[in-house]
Amino acid sequence: MRESIIMKIHYGTALAAVALVAVHVLMRLTQSFSESLEYENVIANYQFIPYAGMLEIILILLSIHGFNGLRVILLELKQGKVYEKTVSYGCLAAMVGLIAYGSRTIIMVNMGMV
C-alpha cells in the first residue's frame, strides 16, 4: 500500500477517534465517576447496542492509528529490508490481534454471555 494512503488512513482514524472517544469519556461523567464503573452500569453500557457499536469503532480506529504510529517510529529507528518487513507485518498482526481480543469482549458482553 502506498505510504500516502496509509498516512491518510492514519489522519482519518485520528479525526474520527477524537469525536468518538470524547463521547466515551463523557459517558463516565453522566453519573458519578465511581458509579459509572460499577459492574451493572458497565454491563448496561455494553448491552446498549449503539454504545457497543461505538466502542467497536473506537477499538478499530485507535488500533489502526496507534499501531501505525508505532510502525512509523520503529521504521525510523532502524532500517533494512528484513527489519522493515518484520515491523510492518508485526504491527499489522498486533493491530488485528488487539481488535480481535477487544471485539471478543464487546460481542460476548453484548450478547449476555457473561
Partner 1 sequence: MGHQDENKEGIGGMINPRRYGIERVAYLLMRLSGLGLLAYFIGHIYETSKILQGEFGWNEVLEITQTTEGHVLLAIVIAMCVFHTVNGIRVMLGEGGVGVGKPARPDYPYIPASQNARHKMGIYSAIVLAAIAMFYGLGVMFGE
Partner 2 sequence: MTQVSSIAKQQASTTLSSSKSVTLRIARFNPEHDSERKFMEFTIPFEKWTTVLDIILEVKKHFDHSVAVRYSCRQATCGSCGMIINGKPRLACFTKISELDSDVVTVEPMNNFPIIRDLAVRFERLFDSHHKIKPYLIRDDSEIISNEKEFLQSPKEVEQYIQFANCIKCGLCNSACPTMATDSSFVGPQALAQAYRYVADSRDKGKDSRLKIIDESHGIWRCHFAGSCSQVCPKGVDPAMGIQLLRGYLLGFRS
What does the binding site for partner 2 look like in residue numbers (CB under 8 A)?
2-4, 6-8, 11, 72, 75-79, 84
Contact partner at residue 64 from partner 2, partner 1, none, CB < 5 to 8 Å by partner kind: none
Find the helix or strand (DSSP H, E) in which 13 lies: helix 3-27
Q: Of 33, 49, 50, 82, which lies in the binding site for partner 1, with binding defined by CB under 8 A?
A: 33
> CA 110 to CA 45: how far, in whole Å?
9
Please, are residues 68 and 9 in contact by the beta-carbon 8 Å criterion?
Answer: yes
- Name the minimum Å distance from CB 70 to partner 2: 14
Contact partner at residue 85 from partner 2, partner 1, none, CB < 5 to 8 Å by partner kind: none
Give the cell for residue 55.
466502542
Nearest CB to partner 1, comparing residues 54 and 59? 59
> CA 58 to CA 36: how far, in whole Å?
19
